[in-house]
Amino acid sequence: DSGVTQTPKHLITATGQRVTLRCSPRSGDLSVYWYQQSLDQGLQFLIQYYNGEERAKGNILERFSAQQFPDLHSELNLSSLELGDSALYFCASTDGRGGNTGELFFGEGSRLTVL
Amino acid sequence: AQSVTQLGSHVSVSEGALVLLRCNYSSSVPPYLFWYVQYPNQGLQLLLKYTSAATLVKGINGFEAEFKKSETSFHLTKPSAHMSDAAEYFCAVRYRGSTLGRLYFGRGTQLTVWP
């Protein structure tokens, strides 16, 4: 158990819909990362938050947005869903303090299927 | 461009045989290096990491990896494969000087272990 909790584990929805994925980082971790894993693209970095503020953006579509709340949990919002958005979405966390040699701790992911 | 390359998307070995999974990075400055394992329907779990201490790094489950600067490589090995090693393995890097902490992942290598 990594200590990172993601909900829901599975989600099936239709094209055009909107979903929200939730992540609770490890206790004490300030940094949260979102990754998308798909067969054709592999593991793609989407976005990072640190202590409530956006720190870095990767290959995140404009239809997607995220935020980190004061209690440090994070949500990834996916809207106007397309078939190609079907993927496994991972949240990862790290304490983010001091040096950057530490690993990321990953949740078990949220599997999104868009029909 | 900074990147991580895993040679071979699929590797098959017999139980008891040597496991060798290849990873090369592209960077003028040696990065921090990580190997993660992903079992079916699970998140990514850290196997080991290199952060510029010893070049031979030992990880969990009998895995180890050697950092070779001259070859820009960080190959993962295990002397004797076990059926339980069947999983997907990801090499990842974090570039020195980066305060953002994100990891760049390779495309992964699926390891199959035959009885």
Contact B70/A at CB under 8 A: no
Closest CA to B39 of A86, A2, A11: A2
Tally A–B CB contacts below 8 A: 57
Inform me whether the C-beta atom of residue B101 falls under 8 Å from chain A C-beta atoms: yes
Q: Measure Cα distances from A38 to A8, A76, A87, B4, B77 in Å.
A: 18, 17, 5, 17, 26
Pairing label, strands A87-94, A31-38: antiparallel
pLDDT tens per residue across span A67-105: 999 999 999 999 999 999 999 999 999 876 655 677 899
Q: What is the mean pLDDT of residues B44-66?
A: 92
C-beta atoms surrounding A80 within 10 Å: 13
pLDDT at position A98 is: 56
**pLDDT of B46:** 94
Q: Is the pLDDT assigned to residue B65 strictly greater than 60?
A: yes
Average pLDDT over residues B69-97: 93
Q: Please name the member of B45, B90, B102 whose beta carbon is closest to the beta carbon of A48.
A: B102
% of chain A exceeding 90 in pLDDT:
83
Q: What pLDDT shows up at residue B79?
A: 97
Nearest CA to CA, how far is B88 from chain A (Å)? Answer: 12
B102/A56 Cβ within 8 A: yes
Q: What is the pLDDT of residues A19-61, one digit of tens each?
A: 999 999 999 899 999 999 998 888 999 999 999 999 999 989 9
Which residues on A lie below 8 Å from B32 (Cβ)?
100-101
What is the percent of chain B where pLDDT is above 70?
A: 95
What pLDDT is recorded for position A99? Answer: 56
pLDDT averaged over every residue in chain B: 91
The per-residue pLDDT for A97 is: 66
The HSE-up count of residue A55 (CA atoms within 13 Å, CB side) is 18
Closest CA of chain A from B53, distance in Å: 11
Q: Which residue's structure tokens are 């599997």?
A: A111
SS3 A3: coil
Q: Which of B96, B30, B33 is nearest to B64 (CA)?
A: B33
Nearest to A112, CA basis, from A46, A57, A50: A46
